[in-house]
Structure 1
Amino acid sequence: MPSFSAEVFQNEFISEGATDVHAIVSVTCSGAGEAGRGGGGDAAEIVIVDTSGSMLDAKIVAARQAAAVAVDQILDGTWFAIISGTHIATRAFPYPNARVSMVQMEPGARAAAKEAISRLEADGGTAMGSWLKLAAQLFDTVPQATQRHAILLTDGQNQSEQPHQFQAAIESVTGRFQCDCRGVGADWDVAELRRVSTALLGTVDLIADPASMAADFEALMQKAMGRGVAEAQLRVWAPQGSQLLWVRQVSPNVEDLTGRKIEINPLTSAFPTGAWGDESRDYHVAVRVSPQPVGQERLAARVQLSVRDQIVSQGLVKAKWSGDDALTTRIDPAVAHYTGQAELAVVIQEGLAAKAAGDEATATTKLGRAVALAAETGNDEATSKLRKVVDIDDPATGTVRLKRSVDKLDEMALDTASTKTTRVNKR
């Protein structure tokens, strides 16, 4: 049986007249088990492979191998399908003439799926919205599968449908399944895939070399199969008269959940978090409360994790008004760390966008700030990737110079890694 625990890290003391309370709530799951085997419904997986014309030669060969490796990791009993994506979406397995849209994994189905994968050929354009809509339609044929996950691979930009069509497709499938996105090579658009992964509670990452694709797919599918909790909600209660400013996931990556709010009742909001395995996730909760006299204490928020409408863990965020500056000016290390990490993600993306637009002054300022934040928060991975885009004169002050010649893959690696955070030692 899975078990959850929650810890709250904050400075409870705020000064006279202050209203804003910040806390990091760390939620840990253990004993999650395997996907589809926890009694909460079946699991379903779809592998979506870009088979457009740009995937010719080494890429399509690597994609076939990666899809086959992913199929090998799917647990017996899991519903699954393979989609071939071009300017249209095609069900590659089960075969288009099959009577069912998805099948449960077993040795015969695994062998047949790998045979179908071996026949994938590269041709046509790219319309990722149609791929997503077909995936949702296939998932809908197995309502007993409450845990639904897809892997989407592409090597290009979404040129075969209009931007508004793509956005409408993303919105139409949001909340219906989770999706991890991977881009291979240097010709795809990070921001485009990030729109998909953000809406569908997944991740986006770069596969620079097609030879790395199989290992990446293997790890993704293994992780998906290790998520034995199909769905959980983060619920935040705030007292009457208070305002929930934001809820952000800040580890293992930065994701603003505020816009996903579902109102449970006038005082309680819920935020979908997707499926869980054995892992820890950290959330930054900010609440604005009514100011109280010095010496007063009140509960600013109650943060709970809910699984199938059952509360499985809880953390309390408190506010204590004090006239002691030594207490009120202290910033909790976890809050400070993750505030810096959230800003780091923003300035990296803004800096790269400015650089692409030819605004070197803004790019230098933003990426310089990123260097300083990476140094301050101990994010060595970000620092390493930043060094490939800028020459660093002084990391402490963020004094940098844009490199004259930068490999596009290095920029894309920095962009995709911008939301990945380093965990803080909260003790």
Structure 2
Amino acid sequence: MASLSKPDAPRFDVDVFQNEYLAQGSREVNAIVTVTATGGGTSGGRPIGAPGPDAAVVLVIDCSGSMEYPNTKMRHAREATAAAIDELRDGVAFAVVAGTHEANDVFPGNGRLAVADRHTREQAKDALRRLKPSGGTAIGTWIAKAQQLFASRPEAAIRHAILLTDGRNEHEKPAALQRALDAAAGYFTADCRGVGTDWEVAELRKVSSALLGTVDIVAESSGLAEDFRAMMTAAMGKQVADVALRVWTPANARVKFVKQAAPAVEDLTDRRTDAGTTGGAARSASNEGGGGRRVGDYPTGSWGDESRDYHVCVEVPAAAVGNEMLAARISLVLPHPDGTAEVLGQGLVRAVWTDDLASSTRINPQVAHYTGQAELADSIRDGLEAHRAGDLERAGAKLGAAVRLAYSSGNEGTLKLLRKVVDVVDEREGTVRFRKNVSEADSMTLETRSTKTVRVKK
């Protein structure tokens, strides 16, 4: 195990869980990689109130005309933003952006960031009081503005945005949003929140996924302040940014996929970059055979005191019984602009071919659990899509499967959300009936939180 050299930074530990035994002719190796960072966040070695790393935060608040209905929504958004500003650590650079069909940095203005202290917090709150709803929604413009603001503070190691919207991205083309996300990916992270039920889950998830943040629904605007306060507290606990999961594979092997498995399912496979490149350049979908690179980096974003699980699947050349090989070397690294990287932790994935049926057919509990959690998220998504399309038979089958998977894995949070959408006849078998008059808020909450997972019971 390795740790950062800075005394106030977290220590990273990497643990690998797998069944390394393969039957003769088998090629697929699965492993769950648990990464744990300790000692660097607000609950670790740094006392609350002590200086942290250079950080910058941009709060992006939807100020489109729809925020006026009901008239409490904008007031609650202003109060929530003020609550988040109160959680800023002294010395953190920050700005507030009002998002409509344009993006206006309402504080401090002129493309700058202010430095958080007692006076600037009060000035920012005063600027919030003057926000009035009007105009449309162009989220890509908001993201581009946040990136410009972060660029004015290049020394900030942690760059994080909080983005709130109540509607769909109706005033720009999808390609414009995608261009903004492509430019911002890897430069800053963002937590996204949808207030009410007139926004689109898939659209906001696309933003949070690209920017390695979270997405959630706040159905009632009165709950915004608590949520914003929690998001900012978490952001202030981050101690190191731009960490990558580096996967080395031997010749003639290839990475089939890399997915974050906990605390939420997030497919990182297509975000691979060749090791040693920076800024999202040199993307590679494969490292197979002599033509591709054998070392790839997968982004993980910023870290404080926390633990995450990753599912890594590698395809290796088949071998005879008795052979064994190193199937992958998993490292957590902090890349530097000069192409070097600091290794923060490391684990090994092995493959051993055997004719012992009991060994080769045993499924590792961690691998089985997270495979089920990914299937659970897919079943919810497919079930809700089928329901919207009017295919009730398929919807019932998929949501029934989701109930069975949630029950068997102990995912009580998701099971509770499912019960608001379907009547559960038999949770073990996944027998369900659709409830009448399901609220849009309950349906969207289930869809938004469908990717949240539970850890393996020890």
What TM-score do you get using the length of structure 1 for normalisation?
A: 0.96
Asked if residue 126 in structure 1 is aligned to residue 137 in structure 2, the reply is yes
Instruction: Report deviation, 1:307.
Output: 2.1
Asked if residue 43 in structure 1 is aligned to residue 67 in structure 2, the reply is no
Structure 1 CA distance for aligned equivalents of residues 320 and 245 of structure 2: 31
Structure 1 CA distance for aligned equivalents of residues 353 and 252 of structure 2: 17
Structure 2 CA distance for aligned equivalents of residues 360 and 162 of structure 1: 32
Amino acid at match of 2:145: L
Amino acid at match of 2:402: A
Q: 2:14 pairs with 6, 14, 20, which one?
A: 6
Amino acid at match of 2:250: P
- Please tell me whether the aligned partners of residues 382 and 417 of structure 1 are also in contact (alpha carbons under 8 angstroms): yes
Q: 1:409 pairs with 426, 441, 444, which one?
A: 441
Q: Deviations over 1:248-297 (max 9, x none)?
A: 00001100010110111721110111100101000000001111111111
Structure 1 CA distance for aligned equivalents of residues 381 and 26 of structure 2: 32
Structure 2 CA distance for aligned equivalents of residues 84 and 342 of structure 1: 36
Any idea what SS the aligned residue of 2:199 has?
A: coil
- Please tell me whether the aligned partners of residues 242 and 289 of structure 1 are also in contact (alpha carbons under 8 angstroms): yes
Instruction: Report deviation, 1:193.
Output: 0.3
Instruction: Report deviation, 1:146.
Output: 2.5
Q: 1:306 pairs with 319, 326, 333, which one?
A: 333
Where in structure 2 are there 5+ consecutive unaligned residues? 1-6, 277-292, 336-340
Q: 1:351 pairs with 373, 379, 383, which one?
A: 383
Q: Could you tell me which residue of structure 2 aligns to residue 28 of structure 1?
A: 36
Any idea what SS the aligned residue of 1:374 has?
A: helix
Instruction: Report deviation, 1:372.
Output: 1.2
Any idea what SS the aligned residue of 1:272 has?
A: strand
Structure 1 CA distance for aligned equivalents of residues 29 and 178 of structure 2: 35
Q: CA separation of 1:408/1:77 partners in 2, compared to 1, >3 Å: closer, same or farther?
A: same
Any idea what SS the aligned residue of 1:271 has?
A: strand
Q: Could you tell me which residue of structure 2 aligns to residue 248 of structure 1?
A: 259
Structure 2 CA distance for aligned equivalents of residues 279 and 177 of structure 1: 19
Q: CA separation of 1:170/1:29 partners in 2, compared to 1, >3 Å: closer, same or farther?
A: same
Any idea what SS the aligned residue of 2:445 has?
A: helix
Where in structure 1 are there 5+ consecutive unaligned residues? none
Q: How does 1:270-285 map to 2 (within 5 A)?
A: 270-285=297-312
Q: Could you tell me which residue of structure 1 aligns to residue 94 of structure 2?
A: 80
Amino acid at match of 2:406: A
Structure 2 CA distance for aligned equivalents of residues 75 and 302 of structure 1: 38
Q: 1:342 pairs with 365, 370, 374, which one?
A: 374
- Please tell me whether the aligned partners of residues 41 and 144 of structure 1 are also in contact (alpha carbons under 8 angstroms): no
- Please tell me whether the aligned partners of residues 61 and 97 of structure 2 are also in contact (alpha carbons under 8 angstroms): yes
Instruction: Report deviation, 1:12.
Output: 1.1
Amino acid at match of 1:395: E
Q: Deviations over 1:108-151 (max 9, x none)?
A: 11111111111111111111111111111111111111311000
- Please tell me whether the aligned partners of residues 236 and 301 of structure 1 are also in contact (alpha carbons under 8 angstroms): yes
Q: Could you tell me which residue of structure 1 aligns to residue 454 of structure 2?
A: 422
Q: 2:426 pairs with 385, 394, 417, which one?
A: 394
Any idea what SS the aligned residue of 1:145 has?
A: coil
Structure 2 CA distance for aligned equivalents of residues 107 and 72 of structure 1: 9
- Please tell me whether the aligned partners of residues 40 and 230 of structure 1 are also in contact (alpha carbons under 8 angstroms): no
Structure 2 CA distance for aligned equivalents of residues 386 and 52 of structure 1: 32
Q: Deviations over 1:303-345 (max 9, x none)?
A: 1101242111111111111101111111011000000001111
- Please tell me whether the aligned partners of residues 186 and 301 of structure 2 are also in contact (alpha carbons under 8 angstroms): no
Q: Could you tell me which residue of structure 2 aligns to residue 55 of structure 1?
A: 67
Structure 2 CA distance for aligned equivalents of residues 373 and 33 of structure 1: 34
Any idea what SS the aligned residue of 1:350 has?
A: helix
Identity, in percent, stands at 49
Structure 2 CA distance for aligned equivalents of residues 260 and 314 of structure 1: 20
Instruction: Report deviation, 1:352.
Output: 0.8
Q: 1:90 pairs with 94, 97, 104, which one?
A: 104
Q: Could you tell me which residue of structure 2 aligns to residue 237 of structure 1?
A: 248
Structure 1 CA distance for aligned equivalents of residues 146 and 393 of structure 2: 43
Root-mean-square deviation (Å): 1.7
Amino acid at match of 1:260: R
Q: Could you tell me which residue of structure 2 aligns to residue 171 of structure 1?
A: 182
